[in-house]
Structure formats: structure tokens, C-alpha cells
Chains A and B, each alone.
Chain A
Amino acid sequence: MDAITVNHLRRLYKSTDGIIKRTTKEVVAVEDVSFEIRQGELFGLLGPNGAGKTTSVKMLTTLLIPSGGSATILGLDVVKDANKVRPRIGFIFGGERGLYWRLSGLDNLRYFASLYYVDEATSKKRIPELLEIVGLKGREREKVEGYSRGMRQRLHIARALLHDPEVLFLDEPTMGLDPVGARELRTTVKNLQSANKTILLTTHYMFEADALCQRIAVINKGKIVALDTPEKLKENVQDLSVVEVELYGIPQEVIERIKALDFVVEVSIENRDQRQVMQVHTPKGPEAIPVLVEHLNGLRIGRIITREPTLEDAYVRLVGGAEQ
């Protein structure tokens, strides 16, 4: 059985502007999202900021009523059976809010254990185990306000696991963490999956989804634009190569002109210090270089290389790459 099924889920937000003349605007945060997640699977929802990841997770965790479509968790409808869904799921949203900063980590866990009807004996046993899993052992009596971002994020994970839920939602769990903290957190997530939990993880980092997830759904502007294993997603771009051109300043109209070339599939620009690296996805490979150089006439050009496409390139191609 699938642990999670999502059927044409949709959500609009109304926002009102103006003080004198009230105008109501509708934002389509999630336009049409469908997927299934198998029991025990670590599934990635990957997309740029504003793609609709958090909105989707909120609907699946009973915190937001969908405008259309439906979803089930362990066979239970997230709207009609919300009360039955809640005890069986755990969730965290990225960022460090959502904890009582003036309480110790331990008090936070104890309070949420009571909200999830975890009995005293069980929580006495489980809280130390969870502190061990998330690497907060020995720090649990300190107030959360003294914790680092990474510690708060890991406390959130422990909180989400208190009632031993079958399904976990992790919305951008590494958001705002330094590289070391992010890596530790990824290890924690990996370990959870081996504990046979079904996990939906959202992220805007391709490499994170690649490193952790068995399948990835790429979401862009509220729609799923691809859904497959990381390997299969990579195959989608195998017919292309990437030509990387190092530049020192490139006008927007030149980018547009290169994008319009018939052998160019996608162009993305990556800023590195004062330089930019223009990445051109093309089936022509190195043969494209002379034409590109012609179009870059008059600009200062650095190194030019041709390379095999990576998963990152597949992602860039799916969500449209110009801004990075």
C-alpha cells in the first residue's frame, strides 16, 4: 500500500492590497500536484523557493485546507480524517521557530510528548533515545535560546519523533544551517529511513535530494515537472553536454540572444565572486563553442570547458535556470 497519495492537489491564497481601494489578488501556490509515496520510502520534493513545497506539506499535515484535489496518509483523508491522521504523522518546518525558547530542550520534548498522548513511562524511555539519535545528549537541560540553529533543527526532529510516527514530513530541514550542521542533519535523516519510516523531504538543493532520496519529484510554479529516481532524472539530460564559459560581466540581452540560438536548450548563469559562469546546455558539445564565442564578441572571456551533464543540470533544465 502507498503511505501517501496525492491527487491533483491545489491551493490558492487570497491576498488583499491597498487601504482605500481593497483589491483581492489570488496567488496559485500549488496548481496541480499528484504523486504516490510507498511505505518506507524516502521521497524528495525538490523545487526552487516559492515553488509550492511548504504549501503542499501544510496540506498533507492537516494544517491547511486544499482548494482542490485530495490526499491520503496511510489510507486516511487529510481533511475528513484529520484527527486520525495527526497521531500518525510527524512534521517539521524549516527554520528555528516553533520551539519554546525559554524552556530547556527537555521541557520542550516533555510538553509535546503530552500533546501527543505519549504516556510517562514511554516518554521517559524515548526522550533519551531521541536525544541520542539527534545528537543533543548532554545539552537537553539548557534553554533552547542558547542552542545553535542546527541544534534547534535537530530538537525539532526529536520532537517530531516523540510519538514514533509512521510518516514524517521534513520541510527544508537544512535551511539556514552551516555546511557541517547540514551534513549532520542529513546523516540523521538517512538513519531515520533505515528505521523504516516513510519520509517526505523537501529541499531546494539538488545534491541533497540526490544524496538522500530514492525518488524525486521536481516541483516548479506549483506543478510537478518530473518524477523519477535520481539516476533516471540524470538520463534525461544525457543527450546534452554543458559548455561552461567563464565571463567577467555579461549583459542580459546577450544571454537572451544565446538562449534563442536553435542548438541551445537552456542557459544558466552562476555567480562566482566577480566572475560569472555561463552554462549552456546543448546537444552539439564542443562544436557549439565557436558560435558562442562569436556572440560574446567584445566581452572578456576566461576559461571555456565542455563537460558531461550532472543531476544539477537536469534540475536546472526542469525549473529553468537563468537565476541561481
Chain B
Amino acid sequence: MLNRLTTNTRIFFEGAYYSYKALFRWLRPATYLASEVFAPLTMMIFFVYIGAYASGSNSASFYVIGNSLIFAASSGIFGVTMSVGGERWSGTLPYLFGSPANRWAMFVGRAVMHVLNGMLGVFIGLGWGILLFKLDLSHTDPLALLLTILITTFSTSGLGLLMGCLSLITRNVMLVNNTVYFLLLVFSGANIPVGDLPRWMQVISQGLPLTRGVACARTIIDGGSLADVLPLLQVEFLIGVILTILGYFLFKIFEIEAKRMGTLDIF
């Protein structure tokens, strides 16, 4: 029993490690640097100036924090989708589903490295904020911020897992992915204060991951304590759990249906 647990843990982490390696090893250091370090910068500059110009009121730190967390979301959504959906592309699905491996360990392990990668993205974003936009972290409780970032990357990776499973089922996943990403850009409060949105849009915002994470991060950087944000963080975490479980069920349904319909290796 315990033995089974440790071996499943191994599947979990090795799956995480190798799927991540398979995804990123082709990038040369320079390309990696460009996509992980400089792409966020251009996006941040874009939103800080456009945003400040358009709203006139919001400070640069509003956009810096919002967009740093958007990087977590993009890593979660695109990274995880690619590592789950990529199995179809590489033709490995029959070999994965023909193995006795625990499906839960195999599936969720995919998300782990992208959570870490997403967190790195957030730090890089905040780093640019400090360097270029006078982001002030002197009132920030570092542990509370770290926890917020961790939970937010977790919840957006949960969305990524769900999208990844969709990518096994539908073929048009990049379109769906981009739409979801765009939804997050608009509805999460990263670039437009949620309070400024029409009522019906706010309802959508409250259902998405990221929204609460962004709000928490702003509160903490403003000097708030962990206790101030804990209720929101709990819901953010819960959203992540729900998305992950939904994704897992979709994954199981896909497996059963593919064996019934004979679509396991169609791509």
C-alpha cells in the first residue's frame, strides 16, 4: 500500500519532469530567455503605458501586479495544455493508456512543473516592476505573497489541465485556449478593475480563477496581511481543486470513450 503510494508519487514527479523536459529542451538558452524573461517585459510595458493612459488613474503597480500574475496564467494554460495535448501529437497515447500507471498521478503530474514555471514568471514580472516601474515591496509580507502566487498558479494550472483534456477531445484547442486567455485578460481584473466592469461581466469574473489571486496580491503588496486575504485565497484554491477534478474526469471519460470508439491514435 505504502509502496504503491511511493511509486505513484514517482510517476507523478517523473511525468512532471520528463514532460517538461520534452516541452522545453528544444529551446536554446537564448530562446528560453526571450520567451520567459523578455516577452513578459514587452507585454508589461504595453499594458502599463496603455493602461495608465486610458484610465489616467491607476498606478503602474496596478498593471505590474496584474500582468505578473497573467504570466502564471499563460504558463498554466498553454504549458499544461501543450503537455497533455502534445501526447496526441507525439502518438504516445496508446502507450500511456496501455500502461498500468495510475491515471491520476500521470495526469496531474503534468501540471507540477508548469506551476513552478508560472511562479518563476510571476517573480520575473515583479522583478521588472521593481526595476522599471518603481514597484514598492517594502510593505509586503513575503510569505503571504508567495502563498498567493503559489495558489494562483495552481488554480490557473487547473484550468490548463481542463483545457489540456479538451485538447485531447477537440482539435481546435488553440482557438479555445486563446479565447480563455483573452477572457482572463479582460475579466480577471489584471488590467481592468473588476469594479469597473458591467454587472454581468463581474459575475463571470467571480467564476474564473486568477481574479481573486490578483486582488489578493494587490492587497498584500499594499501592506495587507495574510489574514486579510485568506478568505479570498481559500476560494481561489477551491476553484483550482474543482478545475483539476473536472479535468481528471474529462481525462477518464476520454480514455473510456477512445477505447470504445477506436480514436486513441487518431490525430
Q: Name A residues whose Cβ lies closer than 8 Å to a Cβ of B.
A: 11, 13-14, 55, 58, 61-65, 83, 86-87, 91, 93, 95, 97-103, 107, 110-112, 114-117, 119, 143, 159
When distances are taken between beta carbons in the complex, the residues of chain B under 8 Å from A86 are 98-100
Give the segment of B15-23, B39-47, B197-205, B216-224 that binds chain A: B15-23
Looking at the assembled complex, report how far the CB atom of B87 sits from the nearest CB atom of chain A, in whole angstroms. 9
Interface residues of B in 63-101 (CB under 8 A from A): 90-92, 94-101
Question: Which chain A residue shows the least CB distance to B106?
Answer: A115
What secondary structure prevails in chain B residues at the interface with A? helix
Interface assignment of B195: CB less than 8 Å from any CB of chain A: no
Chain A CB within 10 Å — which of B95, B96, B265 has the most? B95
> Given A98-B92, A103-B21, A103-B25, are A117 and B100 neighbors across the interface (CB < 8 Å)?
yes
Contact A63 B14 (CB under 8 A): no
Looking at the assembled complex, report how far the CB atom of A17 sits from the nearest CB atom of chain B, in whole angstroms. 16
Contact with A along B1-40 (1 / 0, CB 8 A): 0000001001100110010011101100000000000000
Report Cα–Cα, A95/B11, bound state, in Å.
26
> Given A64-B262, A103-B25, are A110 and B90 neighbors across the interface (CB < 8 Å)?
no
Contact A110 B94 (CB under 8 A): no
> Given A103-B18, A110-B14, are A98 and B95 neighbors across the interface (CB < 8 Å)?
yes
When distances are taken between beta carbons in the complex, the residues of chain A under 8 Å from B90 are 97-101
How many B residues have CB within 8 A of the partner chain?
Answer: 29
Q: Name B residues whose Cβ lies closer than 8 Å to a Cβ of A.
A: 7, 10-11, 14-15, 18, 21-23, 25-26, 90-92, 94-101, 106, 259-262, 264-265
In the complex, 7 of the A-B residue pairs with CB atoms within 8 angstroms, ordered by the A residue number, are A83-B100, A97-B92, A111-B14, A115-B11, A115-B106, A117-B100, A119-B7
Contact B14 A114 (CB under 8 A): yes
Query: When the two chains form the complex, which single residue of A62, A63, A91, A100 contacts B92, counting CB atoms closer than 8 Å?
Result: A100
When distances are taken between beta carbons in the complex, the residues of chain B under 8 Å from A102 are 21-23, 25-26
Q: Other than the known A58-B264, A63-B94, what 7 A-B pairs have Cβ atoms closer than 8 Å? A: A13-B262, A63-B98, A63-B264, A115-B11, A115-B100, A115-B101, A117-B100
When distances are taken between beta carbons in the complex, the residues of chain B under 8 Å from A115 are 11, 15, 96, 99-101, 106
Contact B91 A98 (CB under 8 A): yes
> Given A97-B91, A99-B90, A101-B90, are A112 and B99 neighbors across the interface (CB < 8 Å)?
yes
> Given A64-B259, A64-B264, are A110 and B99 neighbors across the interface (CB < 8 Å)?
no
Looking at the assembled complex, report how far the CB atom of A185 sits from the nearest CB atom of chain B, in whole angstroms. 19
Question: Which chain B residue shows the least CB distance to A160?
Answer: B95
When distances are taken between beta carbons in the complex, the residues of chain B under 8 Å from A110 are 14, 18
Contact B15 A111 (CB under 8 A): yes
Looking at the assembled complex, report how far the CB atom of A288 sits from the nearest CB atom of chain B, in whole angstroms. 46
When distances are taken between beta carbons in the complex, the residues of chain B under 8 Å from A93 are 94, 265
